[in-house]
Amino acid sequence: MNRIGSLVAGFALVALLSGCPSNKDAPKGDSTPKGDKAPADKKVVEGKKGKLEELTAKTDAVVKVKVTTDAKLGDVIKALEAHGDKSVCLAGTEEEKREQTWIPGKDGGLANVVVWFEAPAGKKFADAKVEGTASIDQPHCAFVPHVVVVKPGQKFVVKNSSKVLHNSKITGDASVDNSFNPTIKAGDEAPIDLKSQRDPLDIACSIHPWMSGKIFAPSHPYIGVSDDKGEITIPNVPSGVELKMVIWHEGKGKTEETVTLKAGDNSFDKKITK
């Protein structure tokens, strides 16, 4: 990408990360984003970040979302049944052996739905970090979970608890150097120095081409992914201010709505039809 292309890409990325429409005001401000290496890009980033007002709302809302679906579990993947590693791959759970986009639970709950919040136009969330480690495993020949969320401050590890070799090709945003491709031996794991980005990263394995997953690593912790019951809990979300609530599923894309959360529990029931 040439220098002008880099500038445009950098500017567009910042507009996306900040959740604010781009404008032509002269950039001002002095905050320095981490991980930004190009001086020309940094000037633009500083300007955009400097213009955003930090939200001062209390973070005392708890968001509970239950997602149901009419989808049924898909067929066993044909390439998996024909692969040289099939004895290991076919030892996986029913979900692991099948197409991963739609994974309904027994009670109609839908796994791998991601819900996150975005600050209103012109505002940004205050920095907030979460402790601990997020991980994705390859117990047989699928990524488990299929969709993982990595919050700011969390470490990220790709595990291989299976008996075969996997590689884990992670494709992220090129402008923040967020792509990786570790080869991970049976029983081993690879720590990944993931940077935050707004769009999900892809994870795949070239040894088992049907293997795929998604990694969400936003710059804020107001995000969660549904478990096998279709349930998501997101604690410590700002209350009393209008936020954009985004609901994403791999098979359906995104829907957005504006919400103002109250202190304590805020429950939402959502249905995603195939």
> In the complex with Cu ion, which residue's Cβ is closer, 211 or 243?
211
Distances, alpha carbon 64 to alpha carbons 84, 151, 182, 231, in Å: 43, 18, 35, 7
> In the complex with Cu ion, which residue's Cβ is closer, 170 or 211?
211
Helix H or strand E segment including 232: strand 231-237
89 sits near Cu ion (criterion: CB under 5 A): no
> In the complex with Cu ion, which residue's Cβ is closer, 66 or 166?
166
Shortest distance in whole angstroms from residue 29 CB to Cu ion = 45
**Site mask for Cu ion (CB under 5 A), range 114-153, x = bound:** ----------------------------------------
How many residues of this chain interact with Cu ion, rule: CB under 5 A? 5
166 sits near Cu ion (criterion: CB under 5 A): yes
**162 and 140 in contact (C-beta within 8 Å)?**
yes
Q: Which stretch binds Cu ion (CB under 5 A): 46-54, 121-129, 159-167, 240-248?
A: 159-167
> In the complex with Cu ion, which residue's Cβ is closer, 44 or 205?
205
> In the complex with Cu ion, which residue's Cβ is closer, 7 or 207?
207
Closest CA to 95 of 108, 105, 83, 80: 105
Shortest distance in whole angstroms from residue 207 CB to Cu ion = 4
> In the complex with Cu ion, which residue's Cβ is closer, 1 or 186?
186
> In the complex with Cu ion, which residue's Cβ is closer, 213 or 238?
213
Q: Which stretch binds Cu ion (CB under 5 A): 20-28, 160-168, 185-193, 196-204?
A: 160-168
Shortest distance in whole angstroms from residue 143 CB to Cu ion = 9
Neighbouring residues of 151: CB distance < 8 A, sequence distance ≥ 6: 129, 130, 134, 218, 221, 223
Work out the angle at residue 155's Cα, subtended by the Cα atoms of residues 55 and 185, and round it to the nearest 5 degrees.
Answer: 150
Distance between CA atoms of 65 and 268, rounded to whole angstroms?
A: 5
Closest CA to 229 of 117, 72, 113, 74: 113
Closest CA to 195 of 168, 225, 169, 216: 216
> In the complex with Cu ion, which residue's Cβ is closer, 52 or 205?
205
77 sits near Cu ion (criterion: CB under 5 A): no
158 sits near Cu ion (criterion: CB under 5 A): no
Helix H or strand E segment including 6: helix 3-18
Residue 77: phi and psi, rounded to 5, are -70, 125
* Proportion of the chain in helix, strand, coil states, percent, rounded to 5: 15, 35, 50
Distances, alpha carbon 63 to alpha carbons 49, 217, 266, in Å: 27, 19, 5
Shortest distance in whole angstroms from residue 208 CB to Cu ion = 4
13 sits near Cu ion (criterion: CB under 5 A): no
Distance between CA atoms of 148 and 23, rounded to whole angstroms?
A: 33
Shortest distance in whole angstroms from residue 95 CB to Cu ion = 16
Contacts of Cu ion in 189-248 (CB under 5 A): 205, 207-208, 211
Which residues of this protein are in contact with Cu ion, per CB under 5 A?
A: 166, 205, 207-208, 211
